[in-house]
Amino acid sequence: MPVVWLILIVLAVAVVGYVLGRGRALASAGGEQIKLHSLPSYYGSNVAMKVVVPAFLILVLWLLVQPLIVNNSVSGLIPDSEIAEGSSRGLVLAEVRRAARGLDNAVAQGLITEDFARNARADFNDVTARLKEAGQVVTSQITQPILRAAQEYRVLNATGNFMMSIVVILAALAGAAWGLYESRADFRARNTVERGIKALLISAASIAILTTAGIVFSLVVNTVEFFRLYPAFDFFFGLTWSPTFSGRGGNSQLGIIPLLWGTFYISFVALAVAVPIGLFAAVYLSEYAGPKVRAVAKPLLEILAGIPTIVYGLFALLTVGPLLVSVFGPDGAGIMQSGTAVMTAGLVMGIMLIPFVSSLSDDIINAVPQAMRDGSYGLGATKSETVKQVILPAALPGIVGAILLAASRAIGETMIVVLGAGAAARLSLNPFDAMTTVTAKIVSQLTGDADFASPVALVAFALGMTLFVVTLGLNIVALYIVRKYREQYD
Amino acid sequence: MNDMPKIEQATDMTDSKISANKVQVYYGDTHAIKDVDIEIQPRSVTAFIGPSGCGKSTFLRTINRMNDTLDICRVKGSIQIDGEDIYDPKVDPVQLRAKVGMVFQKPNPFPKSIYDNVAYGPRIHGLARNRAELDDIVASSLQKAGLWEEAKDRLDEPGTGMSGGQQQRLCIARAIAVSPEVILMDEPCSALDPIATAKVEELIDELRENYTIVIVTHSMQQAARVSQRTAFFHLGILVEEGPTQDIFTNPVDKRTQDYITGRFG
């Protein structure tokens, strides 16, 4: 039975359970709602919860565990002789799965009968021929052991699925029975449902945290693998970035310094643009602008935040780059070779970050109590004096936090760099030179045919890990600053 | 306070410090203050009393044009300080507020050191030529606010770290530091405990020697304790104004009598 059907059945049981539980609870109170401990809907929800939660837990666990068990027992059927030179048991198992899927599809199309597919004595040549007839992709010839393994795989999976359906439905029914048994007037259904909701929220929070942990784990594993192939010292202190794909990357020089330099240089330019403009915009919006201007200007500014970064990249490539070249290029100041440069990417990234800085700063400035402003105006201060001497100092921790968050954004930005700053890893002080960043290089190392056994591809993980540590550090510092100085006014 | 000679209370009305004439205040479409006429005597304490929402705070804020910071607020009529109309277009509200200081309901020290809090006004207005002069202004302001003994050893600590009563006296010191002529106080003790309140009231009584003080208060006992004259506001109208003793012992208007005897409000 397909899993979708199973889910629908469980949900149907839950709905029926809800109605029955509600009715049973009402009946147990003689139809008088006031005698129930909880509202009738809580009794229904309690039943539905007891149907859905265990059934779905079992379903998920079963779906996770069954392939492991099946693969294990099928893998035992494949003799070592079947595993060709340079291949691995994993590849052969993939072949088995492909054959099994082919059989499934052939049966579904009615080209072969279920009995034939299961027939242990079936001739593998015949099967191959029939599978090809059915339009199923079968690599070369299916050998006898692979056919046997595929047949066993199908049988095991079918049995497993059948048992899973039974168990899940039984669990659902048992849950319904349990919930219905509980549906009496004095049962505290409301409190039980409350606990269920708490568990739901906790699981949502833990999924987010566990995913982060999983991402970090996969980064760490691959980074360690990279450092086994390439010396860490050369990676962190090497001044040259020149990956070569020949000789499985053995001759590459993979120093991160030029990439980090490009990253920080571009981020610095971006922040130099975004921080003053964003901050002044925030001060204007929160202190000077009337409610009407504010109602229009703030959403407009925030539209900037909704523009996809690739569009900013195009803007850099097609507008800002040529504009800068016309001023600083060979016909002008002569210090800019082409449109792709640190300045191009930095300016455009700065524009991208303006709403980020202004929106966060605006919220923070608005959070400064009106009493501070009154106190300052009451002493005869003008608006700008008040902003400069009272509001900005009071809001400073939050603003610093906002700037650091913007900095992490800038460091992690990719598309604008790819299109605006070029791809040359270079250590240069000239902001009109093309440079590149860590993120852009991660993309270029992994696009195309990546061989994940060579340092040239694995370096992407080390780069990602470094970037992750840097932005994590920035975020921690930002949070620390915000928290430390937050209680200065109440 | 109340036992002061009658002669002093009946100061000649012509040399009043502040004189308001037919003042109207509108918040959007709401007519918050209607036809208020009042003369406020120099170097004395005038208390505004009345139930919540009667317009006493609003009227107080017209005296230093704090209402200008609200877009929807309009003021009509005339208010003169020392014979000069403060709503004249020639008058700079920022300069006016240096002359008419204000202390708010809740202590609102800036998140700066005690010293910087007091030095804020003098710095903005350039009242001190050098650091020594500024030190003198800070010290004398804190002394006048009765806070010097408590604050002199911790001038570098944040003003927000003081107790509520100390914070309010710091705010008074901050207002004094710009040498205002008038100090407006908007329920300065409403967030304070009785002991801190007593100290602030004592301070107000001392400040009367040098400043014209207008205080809005919800506490009729406080009005009776600190003020020489009292004005009773009700529904945006100035119902009755006169020497504090008369208002509390022998009110002319029925509404005033009802209010001070606790029949409403």
Closest to B178 (Cβ–Cβ): which among A372, A379, A490?
A379
Domain boundaries, chain A: 3-187, 241-488
Amino acid identity at B136: D
Secondary structure (3-state) at A442 = helix
Q: What are the structure tokens assigned to B152, written together?
A: 């002199």
Model pLDDT for residues B232-254, shown as the tens digit of each residue:
999 999 999 999 999 999 999 99
Tell me the pLDDT of chain B averaged across its residues.
89
Residue A303 CB neighbours (<10 A): 9
**Chain B: residue nearest A385 by CA?**
B124
- The per-residue pLDDT for range B46-104, each reduced to its tens digit, is 999 999 888 899 999 999 998 887 878 899 999 999 989 999 989 998 889 999 999 99
Q: Which residues of B sit within 8 Å Cβ distance of A? A: 64, 66, 69, 71, 94-99, 101-104, 106, 108-112, 120-121, 124-125, 158, 160, 171, 174-175, 178
In the predicted structure, residue B11 carries a pLDDT above the cut 50 = no
The torsion defined by the Cα of A467, A469, A471 and A476, in degrees rounded to 10, comes to: 180
Contact of B177 with B122, CB cutoff 8 Å: yes
Local confidence pLDDT in tens for the 490 residues of chain A = 678 899 999 999 999 999 999 999 988 888 788 888 888 899 999 999 999 999 999 999 999 998 888 888 888 777 777 676 656 677 777 778 877 887 777 777 777 777 777 776 666 677 777 776 666 665 556 677 777 788 888 888 888 889 999 999 999 999 999 999 988 888 888 999 999 999 999 999 999 999 999 999 999 998 998 898 888 888 898 888 888 765 555 567 888 999 999 999 999 999 999 999 999 999 999 999 888 898 998 888 888 888 999 999 999 999 999 999 888 888 777 788 888 889 999 999 999 999 989 988 998 898 888 889 999 999 989 999 999 999 988 888 888 888 988 998 899 888 898 888 888 888 888 888 888 899 988 888 887 666 667 788 888 899 999 999 998 898 888 888 777 766 555 4
User: Within a 10 A sphere around the Cβ of B246, how many other Cβ atoms?
Assistant: 15
Q: What is the 3-state secondary structure (H, E, C) of B200-251?
A: HHHHHHHHCCCCEEEEECCCHHHHHHHCCEEEEEECCEEEEEEEHHHHHHCC
Residue B10's pLDDT is what? Answer: 44
By CB neighbour count within 10 A (0-12 exposed, 13-18 middle, 19+ buried), where does B219 fall? middle
Nearest C-alpha neighbor of B201 from the set B87, B130, B103: B103
What DSSP designation does A142 have? P
- Beta carbons of A374 and B120 less than 8 Å apart: no
* Beta strand ranges found along A56-107 (DSSP E): none
Nearest to A393 among B95, B111, B175 (CB): B111
Interface touch A380/B158, C-beta < 8 Å: no
Going from N- to C-terminal start, the domains of chain B cover: 16-112+184-260
Min Cα separation B192/chain A (Å): 16
- For residue B120, list chain A residues with Cβ-Cβ distance below 8 A: 376, 379, 381, 389
Q: Are B251 and B223 in contact (CB under 8 A)?
A: no
Is residue A52 within 8 Å of A192, Cβ to Cβ?
Answer: no
Edge to edge, what strands does the sheet with B229-234 contain?
Answer: B84-85, B73-81, B18-27, B30-40, B237-243, B229-234, B45-49, B212-216, B182-186, B100-103
Query: What is residue B62's predicted lDDT score, i.e. its pLDDT?
Result: 93
The pLDDT, as a whole number, for residue A81 is 72
Is the Cα torsion angle B79, B84, B90, B95 positive or negative in sign?
negative
Would the CB atoms of A385 and B124 count as touching at under 8 Å? yes
ipTM at complex level: 0.87
Task: Out of A111-125, A330-344, B11-25, B143-157, pick the least confident.
Answer: A111-125
Calculate the CA A339 to chain-centre distance: 33
pLDDT at B141: 94
What values do phi and psi take at B263, rounded to 5? Answer: -80, -25
Q: Which residues of B touch A382 (CB under 8 A)?
A: 94
Name the packing angle between helices B164-176 and B114-125 (round to 10°).
20
Over the Cα atoms of chain B, what is R_g?
A: 18
Pick the CATH number of A241-488 from 1.10.3720.10, 3.10.180.10, 1.20.1250.20, 3.40.50.1470: 1.10.3720.10
CA distance B155 to B138: 10
> Quick one: which H or E segment has residue A17?
helix A3-28
The domain made up of B16-112+184-260 is a member of CATH 3.40.50.300: yes
